[in-house]
Amino acid sequence: MAVTKADTFVPLGSTEFSALIDKTGPFKTNPYFAVALSGGSDSMALALLAHEWAQQRGGRITALTVDHSLRCESAHEAQQIGQWCATLGIEHHILTWTPPDVLQGIQNAARNARYGLLSSYCRQHHIPHLLTGHQREDQTETLFFRLARGSGMAGLAGMAVVSDLNGIRLLRPLLSVSKQRLVATLNQRHHPWIEDPSNQKSVYTRNHIRLLLAQSPDSDALHNRAQRVSECFRKFNNLLNKKVASCLTESVLLFPEGYATLKRPTFSEMPYELALRSLSALVTTLSGLEYAPRTEKLERFLRALSAPVPTSRRSFSGLIFQFRAKSNDWLVYREPNALEGPIEVSPATSILWDRRFLVECHGIKTPVSVRALGREGLTWLKCHEPPIINKNQRNTPKMVLASLPSFWHLEEMIAVPHIDYLNQHYTDAKFTAQFTPPKPLVARAF
């Protein structure tokens, strides 16, 4: 437990916090939030302030702690956080992640798992907003981290105060607040917090950046300058997003089956920067990525697409770009080898399959699996009654059909929502698969 004093820093008061969170609204009269609570000083201060703010408006919060099971102390720490929440009158739940036996890119994998668990809980419990405790220093680290990776303007705009995450609103109201002020807030209230020792390991790039920034003789001024730089990039980014939205409207047709067509003449006439950003948005949405591919990779692929004589078929970032001379466009769909494997779905729950489809099942008693329709599913449709012949199946390209989510019980196919197939033994059940990628095709200006 940390006992750091921060007497020289002004605690964050309820009035100032109210002004910060109001900027992320509007909200209903009785707001309901989930708070990602790791137990660190940032998220702990956020939980205290958000709890008070919600109570004053007749609302409530639910604190969610993800136990990554990567440290032997993690389970005990999660229980400790739960005890603190019980004392404060805050509802608390622990979400456990079991890491795979072979794990590469541990920080990125843990981060993706954390957001997956948090967003899944919010969807299942109809919580529209998820708050995270990212603060000013986190924003600065993100700026330098992305600069080192060669990010473009969108990346250098930093983290957004409000963004979309798997169908819910991700809110970061503390991005302009220093870590020291959050520590001071906890000290003022005599409330403890947990220090994660892995945050000090310089072997991780982001931690190395954090330690270097802390050694700056005038780190406060450095963070303020970084904030101004990110704000400048954010303003230009929002202006460009409006232009990109117009370009996408003219050049792309997006289908609920998770594929798109890209008009070659319209795309070829776009100014370079708009074409690059349009391609980035299309790839990110259709592949279900949270972050766009690196700028240099996008630039190489854009040059390939812009060749005078189009290549009939190219793959990029888990997608196939197939040129169709007759319609003079590209058919863009998921690469079969990149599709996620089978996952289990429990009754009356929702889960994201292939990072793109929010799948749910109701009216059944046992879990079912969701997987790509594939050749096996297409063969099933041909061999089993009733035959599936409807408008969707006739118009959807065959290679896209094979990538659609389908529900199975053991080796029996139950449903394929996008083509209205429902096994006659399951007519009392309901199965849905909604195309809900982490990043929508047209970015919102936050």
Where are the domains positioned within the chain? 14-215, 242-337, 340-435
pLDDT band at 292, cuts 50/70/90?
Answer: confident
d(CA 201, CA 54): 36
- The chain-wide mean pLDDT, for the chain, equals 88
d(CA 334, CA 193): 44
What are the phi and psi torsion angles at 32 (to 5°)? -130, 120
217 vs 182, residue with greater confidence:
182
Determine the pLDDT at residue 391.
43
Per the DSSP assignment, residues forming a β-bridge with 129 are 33, 169
Determine the pLDDT at residue 98.
81
Candidates 177, 218, 136; CA nearest to 9 is: 177
pTM, two decimals, is 0.73
294 vs 31, residue with greater confidence:
31
273 within 8 A of 244, measured Cβ to Cβ: no
Within 10 Å of residue 159's Cβ, how many Cβ atoms?
18
Per CATH, the number for 14-215 is 3.40.50.620
Average pLDDT value for residue range 164-172 = 87
d(CA 356, CA 254): 13
pLDDT band at 446, cuts 50/70/90?
Answer: very low
Query: What digits encode the pLDDT tens for the residues 306-347?
Result: 888 888 999 999 999 999 999 999 999 999 999 999 999 988
Residue 369 burial (C-beta neighbours within 10 Å; 0-12, 13-18, 19+): middle
203 vs 428, residue with greater confidence:
428
